[in-house]
Structure 1
Amino acid sequence: MYLEDLDPNASLTDHLTRLLTRNVMLDDAGALLRDQLSEPRNYATLVENIASGFTRLSDIARMSGMEDGAASKYLGVLKKLGVVERAVPATVTRPAQSKLGRYRIVDPYLRFYYRFIWPNRTLIASGRLDVPLATLQQHLHEFVGKHSFEELCREWVLDYAGSGQLGFVPRRIGSFWRSRSGETSGMEIDVMAINEDEHEMLIGECKFTREAIGASVVRKLIEDKTPLVDIDMSKKWTIRYAFFSRSGFSSDARTAAKRFDCEFVDLTRLERDLRKS
């Protein structure tokens, strides 16, 4: 429905303004929860906090003013409805038992709505669009890069593996992160495909920025992040790398990757390959 309003000659700001001034945009997602749930405000609070970047159960519960048990109950309902999912690092073989679970919103529309529309609904309803538009313009590229772009990159890996070009059949494709404790606080890997039986793995970095990926990004992934992955390093692993970039790659980046098995995927290649699938 919203795609019908897109004008290829209009600016991004014009599109966002048009969407924000449509009353149906303000209420569609809220109606989805109200129509299916008896306590929609509690559920909306949880989803809003996930959209704002609080993805661990304890953080979601704290920000929502709930006990962990209550938040877990509500999240379980949202999982059954397909609104959220609980993800674990791609190295985890028993997801239900992992303490590294993170919740994320499944549907891109709901993800966008609860990140940008719901928190500003009062301002938008009153026609005061300056603050919502400024927030959108400041954070939209980061939002797209963190969610939609990374998802497309993982889809590319799935298709690449399915065509036989990856060199192994992944058991799982996802991402990777370490717990916040200790020296590995905040370490994340955007894309990971793994087959622990064959000791094969692909590790990928995604950058949806206006700058080309440089040598420092390549070295950080290969030299700094890879040794921190939770795998049995007593085995001989074959590790491949993939770099995904909105703005291409510097010559230094390609030089830094020469000694390794690397794929470089820009937007043109990403779109072309996904269209083939």
Structure 2
Amino acid sequence: MGVAQHKLSYYLSRLVDIGLLEREVPVTERSSEKSKRGLYRIKDYFLDFWFKYIYPYRSYVEIGQTSFVIDVIKKTFKEKHVSFVYEDICREKVTRMSLKGELPVLASRVGKWWDGEDEIDIVGVDSEDRVVLLGECKYTNSQVDVDLYYKLVERSKKLNVVERPLYVFFSLNGFTKEFIRKSREENNVLLFECDDGDINGGDNVRFVSIRDIRNNPAVLWKDSEAVITVNGKPKAVVMRIDGDPKEILDFIEKMRVQIAVEKLRMFSLEKGLNNLSDDEIEKIVREEKRKYSSE
């Protein structure tokens, strides 16, 4: 990266402060700040996608080889991007259900767990730091088999688990007959089949018209993000911020410039302008200046 190791912590903490990164630790850790098992990840899904698929292949995009990049995205999009988003959504669903009393256990916090060998997608801990809930999420094209249950039971032996915890499993394409039979035999095994509609349904962008804001300004704060429209057209974005507002605005401005540059590159490739000589470019600039001055 070209950054001295002793300086990394400063830059990472700044990125966390402005909401670009987040530091995750296993949910079983009592002191997240002191934990040595913390991992950093990009907080925003759009930025995460950009750094996974656009940034590494910019050279291909710049020369017009977008088909190669699209093929890469198609081959790995589910396992490298969507599956992680799916896990986050499943954990949020478990958290909501627990707080609403829709589960037989109450978890004071829900997250993920890992060590050097194993990982568990969903772990719920009670107020006494006991694991009361464990789960797995599978965003695959096939049905999930009962073997996943037995593997989770085996991995759970590494944790401080109550005598009879709740096991929850999420699957995009359902479960095998054996797994369904197992869930019926055991009253502490719950199966959830969540499709793309469940994923998109709770995270749609909320649009608020300027007229609605005039009538009731409180509508702006109903959610953490909203798009303000004027005459049906999006004009501004309202979002909750964590950290220094100026740093966040500076970052957004840089992203706007970067997106604009990418659009210009794509436009130049489509129109063949990337092959123009310096003299031809200068001629176009002079003509545009003449048009502007005559208006």
- TM-based fold match above 0.5: yes
TM-score (norm 1): 0.67
- 2:157 maps to amino acid: P
Q: Which has the larger radius of gyration?
A: 2
Could you tell me which residue of structure 2 aligns to residue 113 of structure 1? Answer: 50
Deviation at 1:145, TM superposition (A): 4.1
CA distance in 1, matches of 2:193, 2:106: 23
Query: Going by fraction, where is strand more abundant, 1 or 2?
Result: 2
Q: Is the 8 A contact 1:173 1:193 kept in 2?
A: yes
What secondary structure sits across from 2:133 in the alignment? strand
Deviation at 1:208, TM superposition (A): 0.3
* Equivalent residue for 2:137, pick from 202, 206, 220: 206
Could you tell me which residue of structure 1 aligns to residue 16 of structure 2? Answer: 79
- 1:174 maps to amino acid: G
Could you tell me which residue of structure 1 aligns to residue 123 of structure 2? Answer: 192
Deviation at 1:260, TM superposition (A): 5.1
* Equivalent residue for 1:267, pick from 191, 194, 206: 194
* Equivalent residue for 1:227, pick from 138, 157, 162: 157
Gaps (5+ residues) in structure 1? 1-63
Gaps (5+ residues) in structure 2? 203-295
CA distance in 2, matches of 1:256, 1:270: 27
Q: 1:1-277 alignment to 2 at 5 Å?
A: 64-178=1-115, 180=116, 185=117, 187-197=118-128, 199=130, 201-222=132-153, 224-229=154-159, 231=160, 236-257=162-183, 258-259=185-186, 261-268=188-195, 271=198
* CA root-mean-square deviation: 2.2
- 2:152 maps to amino acid: L
Q: Is the 8 A contact 1:145 1:207 kept in 2?
A: no
CA distance in 1, matches of 2:11, 2:192: 39
CA distance in 2, matches of 1:73, 1:116: 27
Deviation at 1:167, TM superposition (A): 2.8
Q: Deviations over 1:190-244 (max 9, x none)?
A: 111110528451111010000100011121112x211122x2x6xx444101100
Q: Is the 8 A contact 1:207 1:245 kept in 2?
A: yes
Aligned sequence identity (%): 26
Q: Deviations over 1:95-118 (max 9, x none)?
A: 011111011111010010001111
- 2:134 maps to amino acid: I
- 1:240 maps to amino acid: L
Q: Is the 8 A contact 1:202 1:239 kept in 2?
A: yes
Aligned length: 200
Q: Is the 8 A contact 2:139 2:171 kept in 1?
A: yes
Q: Deviations over 1:20-52 (max 9, x none)?
A: xxxxxxxxxxxxxxxxxxxxxxxxxxxxxxxxx
Deviation at 1:267, TM superposition (A): 1.6
- 1:170 maps to amino acid: A
Could you tell me which residue of structure 1 aligns to residue 240 of structure 2? Answer: none
Q: Is the 8 A contact 1:199 1:237 kept in 2?
A: no
Relative distance call for 1:198 and 1:73 in structure 2 (3 A) is closer
Q: Is the 8 A contact 2:141 2:172 kept in 1?
A: yes
